[in-house]
Amino acid sequence: MKLKAFFFTVLISGIILCLFSAPLSFAQGEQRTAVIIPPQVKTAFQEGMQSREARVDIPFQITNSLYLPAIPNLHAVIFFKVKNIDLGFAPPAVIPQAETQEEQPAPTNLIAQNYVFLQFNKLETQTPGELVKEVYIPMRIEEESASYDPEQEGTYTTGYPLPPGSYLLSMAVTSQDLQKIGTQYLEITLPDPLSFTDTIDTTPVIFAKNIKQVATPETTAEIHEDFFVYSILQIEPNIERIFTPQDNLDIFFFIFGAQANAQGQSDIDVHFEVFRGEELVINFANQKYSNPLVSQPLPMKKTIIVRTTKGTETSEAREQRNLEAGGYTLSITIKDNISTKTFKKTIDFEVRG
């Protein structure tokens, strides 16, 4: 546990440095050379934009979204699902070999190559307005031939930094020849970090299955399967918030509105509790943070008192046990000791054993 805590301290120090010294921003020139959305896709967007009616040439579903700070913007992360059969997986093209060369082994992977297009329009009173950004992303996914299931639904992510505001995202997944175009729409609101002068709040709380460091920050929009990249972190989220009794609650979020001292450090207390209904089942020790980016592993172990009676004497012992299967609530209470502001939020999760 101490080693993991040390790892997170080093990691968060690194990402804070990246955020404030080399902020995430996908400049127009850093996008692919073909930035403009093709007319066929533009037309498909326009046809469904007012009603938010999807086009299902390639059926897909936007399942979730979240945001994290990307100074001076917010990094919006989009989650979507597509069945394998709809992405058109096929063996890679085989280059003919000369008769004198050895026969090449059959490919073991199947490949799907598609395009993803994102269009962000300002949203005012539910009406799409000014075009803010167009993004083009090549999508190349590989699957093992032996385990390929055409009906399996893959979970994919992409991300893009945007200024604070409300947007309508028009998203398309297309074939490379643009003969098949699937569309979906999502309304997104990104808060202004500078607006938290009298209050504090957090980004959406992420339950992470795994977090690991990558060599360099991601500076172009990419498609990833089962994880997303944020600065120098590769994060595999537990979007469904379903755990086994042996899991940890590894949580990740950013605190807006926390003040810093003259040395640029925060002084934040966070108290985590787990409830089952009205019953407090885990009361974690108070945690202190010197920066507003929180990454905290919380072991799902409850402490119970076991009483043993022998003759006329009764003894007590404390034991650590896993949580039983069922629904729980994580309560997060935050206090900024510099401004004395406080904030509390709760997130439900489930244990299946």
Q: What is the pLDDT of residues 45-98, one digit of tens each?
A: 999 999 999 999 999 999 999 999 988 899 999 999 999 999 999 998 765 555
Q: Where are the domains of the chain?
A: 1-89+109-239, 241-353
C-alpha 297/C-alpha 289 separation (Å) is 14
The model's pLDDT over 236-261, given as tens digits with 9 standing for 90+, comes to 999 999 999 989 999 999 999 999 99
C-alpha 113/C-alpha 109 separation (Å) is 13
**What CATH number is given for 1-89+109-239 in this structure?**
2.60.40.10
Cα torsion through 240, 243, 249, 254, rounded to 10: 0
Q: Residues 45, 54: contact at Cβ < 8 Å?
A: no
Cα torsion through 245, 348, 169, 231, rounded to 10: -50
Per-residue tens of pLDDT for the chain, all 353 residues: 333 443 444 455 555 545 544 445 554 434 444 448 999 999 999 999 999 999 999 999 999 999 999 888 999 999 999 999 999 999 987 655 555 556 666 567 999 999 999 999 999 888 999 999 999 999 999 999 999 999 999 999 999 999 999 999 999 999 999 999 999 999 999 999 999 999 999 999 999 999 999 998 888 999 999 999 998 899 999 999 999 998 999 999 999 999 999 998 999 999 999 999 999 999 999 999 999 999 999 999 998 877 777 777 777 778 888 999 999 999 999 999 999 999 999 999 999 98
CB-based contacts of 304, cutoff 8 Å, min separation 6: 318, 319, 321
C-alpha 299/C-alpha 287 separation (Å) is 14
Pairing assessment for the beta strands 342-351 and 242-243 based on DSSP bridges: parallel
Q: Is the model's pTM score more than 0.75? A: yes
C-alpha 311/C-alpha 329 separation (Å) is 41
C-alpha 80/C-alpha 77 separation (Å) is 10
Domain 241-353 in the same topology as domain 1-89+109-239:
yes
Fold of 241-353: Immunoglobulin-like (2.60.40)
